[in-house]
Amino acid sequence: MFSFRRQVYCDNNATTPVSRAVRKAMNDVLAHCYANPSSPYRMAHRAADILAGARERVAKAINAPAESLFFTACATESNNTVRAIAPLLPVGKRAILYNPLEHPAMLESLFRLGEQGFALIPLAPDRQGRIAPRAVENALRDDVGLVVCMAANNEVGTLYDVEGMAGVARAHGALFFCDMVQALGKVPVDVRESGVDYASFSAHKIHGPKGVGALYVREGAPFAPFMLGGHQEEGRRAGTEGLHNIAGFAAAAADVPRLLASAAALRQKRETFIAALTRIAPDCVINSPGGGQCQPGTVSVTLPGTANAVVMGQLDYYGVSVAAGSACNTGEDLPSHVLTGMGLTPEEARATLRIAFPHNLPEKDLRYVIAVFGKVLTGQDGEVMALQPAQLTEEVLFAPGVFIIDLRHAMKPEYALKPLPGSHRFPFYSIGKHLHEIPRDRHILVTCETGYDAPIVAYYLKRKGYGRLTFLMWGILGWKLAQPELYARLARQHSEEAS
């Protein structure tokens, strides 16, 4: 089984591989239709035809009138339009009822509105992220003018009764904004049947290109453009349309029926994986709801006593790509707001993984993923050592033959935490370009700020043939907390040497 490593991509909620049909559609536009769709001459007429045809194809995938849909740069932009829509609410209807498990693109937009005087009322999801329409009805007040709830959660896969919620909102005179990014291609999406007023979409979640999204606006719903400075998209979104990306989105949308046809088989494979995982790790906790209440291919699992970054690194070594349930690589060690919003503790969130299977997952790949999880979770993968912060003494730090890697992010040049003395700084995202600087005849200790990046790179180096590898658990932050006096003295020493 492990004489060779397969590559099984299980992070399809983050993005999906671009399909062959999408690549062809995009290449055709890039090669033969580079004119601006807004220009008056004949070449531009063809570009305008492609744009109109793409709009119809994407609209068909969500059962919307073509004129109710316009293209954006991404779903993040589509969600940010709530900041332009909310000021159009009547003066006495400036409260917003929302799902606190929304994507940050929506949450941060809402928080900005809160700073501008809008009242924000969070709903209360249960332990698996569910919110019933009755909960929306009970939380509605006379001053609520907008209800915001996603169709499917990106971290745990929970599906929401959008039609029921939108119906409740409409009965109370409130508008409904729905992030449908994670639903399209996984469950049937019908914006007219669901009764939503606004819905956001993204191409790269359905095997389309990155850099293009869409926003549905129900006819008659109040709307103001978020992007200003041009007449494009009938005045609803300024900026020259990225026609090649839009053509790719249309090609991906045309394939949605095929994606939906595979949902039942994928759901069964998901259940097979969960059953196997609970046999391998009986104390694991499945955070995703079961059956039809969850996306067909998403599993959120908490593995008590583990660090998700370590397990990710181990799985990645064997070619299995998954995501963590924690955003601790921000440098602030913050757990996932989705998981803590569902009631998990920060420690449980940092022990949580998200597996998002592809719609066309082969049986042999599923068996391989289960086997890899078995090897990793039963302790059979012990070739890379984990060093606890309390074990990082001066003797270890200054032992001869130790090469210390300090991982940093280029976009964050200033760090509150000082590196270990004698360490060598390397960029996390491009460390592969620096392998010639890392000796193969020394014991390598990999560190980072919060412990998220170090195990991933340690297992990457293992895959590249490095032999003696150790990573610092919980990073320099953990070491500072475990040994504050030693950190203070050595950090000062490092600063003096640097100056």
Provide the b/e sequence for 268-303 (b: ≥16 CB within 10 Å). Answer: ebbeebbebbeebbeebbbbbbeeeebbbbbbbbbb
pLDDT at 326 (0 to 100): 45
pLDDT at 66 (0 to 100): 98
pLDDT, mean of residues 395-403: 86
Name the pTM for this structure: 0.85
At 334, the pLDDT band (50, 70, 90 cuts) reads confident
d(CA 52, CA 44): 12
Contacts of 387 by beta carbon, 8 Å cutoff, 6+ apart: 396, 445, 470, 471, 472, 473
pLDDT at 83 (0 to 100): 97
At 223, the pLDDT band (50, 70, 90 cuts) reads very high
Other CB atoms closer than 10 Å to residue 2's CB: what's the count?
A: 12
Whether 44 shows a pLDDT value over 60: the answer reads yes
Q: What does 295-317 look like in DSSP terms, one character per residue?
A: -TTEEEEE-TT--HHHHHHHHHH
pLDDT, mean of residues 35-57: 94
pLDDT at 394 (0 to 100): 86
Catalogue all structural domains in the chain, each as residue range(s) with its CATH number.
8-14+261-377 (3.90.1150.10), 20-254 (3.40.640.10), 385-498 (3.40.250.10)
At 493, the pLDDT band (50, 70, 90 cuts) reads low
Residue with more model confidence, 324 or 122 = 122
Whether 207 shows a pLDDT value over 80: the answer reads yes
pLDDT at 494 (0 to 100): 52
At 2, the pLDDT band (50, 70, 90 cuts) reads very low
pLDDT at 496 (0 to 100): 44
H or E segment at 25?
A: helix 20-32
Lowest mean pLDDT among 153-157, 195-199, 283-287, 438-442: 438-442
- Which residues carry out catalysis? 328
pLDDT, mean of residues 243-256: 98
At 408, the pLDDT band (50, 70, 90 cuts) reads confident
- Averaged confidence pLDDT in the chain: 92
Helix, strand, coil percentages in the chain from 3-state DSSP, rounded to 5: 40, 15, 40
Maximum pairwise Cα distance, the chain: 75
pLDDT at 409 (0 to 100): 82
H or E segment at 479?
A: helix 475-482
